[in-house]
Structure 1
């Protein structure tokens, strides 16, 4: 049975961020993920998680100035020092709550810039980060994010490019974050894709399409996909990175067999 993790950046937004942890635990979630915990002091973050009874399974490295349009900076040739300094914060937060996975967002390629140079920078920064976590129980994840709807100009928007980058880094610490919603938009053929990539997948996320709402609101057949993950042998977490169509608890009927 897939293990579901509530994404607190998108779910339970009826509540302040610090209060969403307890709400997720009360709803039955045993895992929690979020985009970025950095708005909370480390001790507040740790206390909120402990109060939930759940464990933190994933969050992102600092993505830059999200409000100003940043969507990561690890591939930006002009921000190498900034990324590497910010990685210290990611490690400090991960250590405080024993989080075993950090998503390293590549960023949006500026118009007219050399994509190959951005890819080279991403590889170098991932290699640096992999060395930093070599002795830690922490994996680094890279996620193809759709560039058609949600993040135009996002560098890593397809699984083949993600796998090329993982191969170039050459570290077992760098794995694939497979988001079903993003890959439905960009590639389709979901179960064959998951089966082919499964040895490299360190985390899966879901949302329906279109709309990025909860399963059952769109075209993706989650009643087939979620049981299939068991058949394929996936034993990791599935992050619920969706925007509830209404109130969060009212939209959890689809998950009653999993939490």
Structure 2
């Protein structure tokens, strides 16, 4: 039985046990109050951090249900959602805080010129879609090295990205390249350190190209997370979380202390989104998501 159905039955029983006069009005009033209470049952978030969550971590939960859960927890953004699912987000007044769908894959990216024709066509199309939908961020990837040296990779990325960055500037879309660890999860990934990523941002020289600083990934490959964020925040346009080791819950079971990291991010004046990107290990995945939001809500 659905919650709304069981609630209505309970209210009818209450009405049946009361005086008959005004029963219909009483039923409507009680139902309205119950619905209002149900809708307003959410965390009282502080507003310092704009929270989001990565869709792929909850693939076994229908997007409609995830949207409802997100609203109930008290925030209103979901990361890594493509055009076909934007109507669902809009139906729930959920923002697509990091759009995807333009990339070929995590391994085939901008550092190899043979992928440029496909990427340029796809990103040109998606930049328009993102802008028309009222969104701002679009993810991209460097791709694997496959024996390529850093300098060649930088030059190739600049050559390709310059073909789309003008349109991104015109449309108000920020292309964000994610920093991924190459030690555990993404062997051979080129954009696996902040030094290389920052050099790419500098060479492109556009406010519409930033790095997605993934805290989980960079803890594995570099560490020194708070200092890195403090010293280089102008190059970072988005943040992802994740527990180290294991990429699970971000609580006391792992080595990072996220409240301090969030305070470091907030101190830079950052006003964008921080998306939870851990894989819940516990049966109640949405409870783990709520816990992660609370931990980061400084």
Change (3 A) 1:248 1:103: same
Change (3 A) 1:125 1:231: same
What SS class does the counterpart of residue 183 from structure 2 fall into?
coil
User: Are 1:227 and 2:276 matched, yes or no?
Assistant: no
User: Are 1:3 and 2:50 matched, yes or no?
Assistant: yes
Which of 46, 71, 84 is the matching residue for 2:86?
46
Q: Counterpart in 2 of 1:143?
A: 178
Which of 154, 165, 178 is the matching residue for 1:130?
165
CA distance in 2, matches of 1:228, 1:235: 13
Query: Which of 1 and 2 has higher RCO (CA within 8 Å, sep 6+)?
Result: 1
What SS class does the counterpart of residue 250 from structure 1 fall into?
helix
Contact 1:56 1:97 in 2 (8 A): no
Higher helix share: 2
What SS class does the counterpart of residue 275 from structure 2 fall into?
strand
1:100-249 equivalence runs, <5 A: 100-110=136-146, 112-216=147-251, 217-246=253-282, 247-249=284-286
Name stretches of at least 5 consecutive residues in structure 2 with no aligned partner: 1-47
CA distance in 2, matches of 1:75, 1:54: 33
Q: Counterpart in 1 of 2:41?
A: none
Contact 2:178 2:211 in 1 (8 A): yes
CA distance in 1, matches of 2:149, 2:220: 25
What SS class does the counterpart of residue 191 from structure 2 fall into?
coil
Change (3 A) 1:61 1:46: closer
The structure number with the bigger radius of gyration is 2
Q: How does the TM-score come out when normalised to structure 2?
A: 0.76
Contact 2:150 2:190 in 1 (8 A): yes
Number of equivalent positions: 247
User: Are 1:26 and 2:63 matched, yes or no?
Assistant: no
CA distance in 1, matches of 2:155, 2:204: 10
Alpha-carbon RMSD? 2.1
CA deviations over 1:150-190 (Å, ceiling 9, x no partner): 10111111000011111111212111211111111111111
CA distance in 2, matches of 1:77, 1:192: 34
User: Are 1:14 and 2:51 matched, yes or no?
Assistant: no
What SS class does the counterpart of residue 56 from structure 2 fall into?
coil
CA deviations over 1:82-134 (Å, ceiling 9, x no partner): 11111134224413432201121111122x34553332211112211211212
Q: Counterpart in 2 of 1:85?
A: 121
Contact 1:206 1:241 in 2 (8 A): yes
Deviation at residue 28 of structure 1 after TM alignment = 2.3
User: Are 1:37 and 2:75 matched, yes or no?
Assistant: no
Contact 1:22 1:48 in 2 (8 A): no
Contact 1:72 1:104 in 2 (8 A): no
CA distance in 2, matches of 1:54, 1:209: 29
Deviation at residue 212 of structure 1 after TM alignment = 0.8
Q: Counterpart in 2 of 1:253?
A: 291
CA distance in 1, matches of 2:184, 2:246: 10
Q: How does the TM-score come out when normalised to structure 1?
A: 0.86
Question: Which has the higher mean CA deviation after the structures are superposed, 210-219 or 220-229?
Answer: 220-229
CA distance in 2, matches of 1:84, 1:119: 17
Name stretches of at least 5 consecutive residues in structure 1 with no aligned partner: none
CA distance in 1, matches of 2:91, 2:101: 23
CA distance in 2, matches of 1:189, 1:114: 25
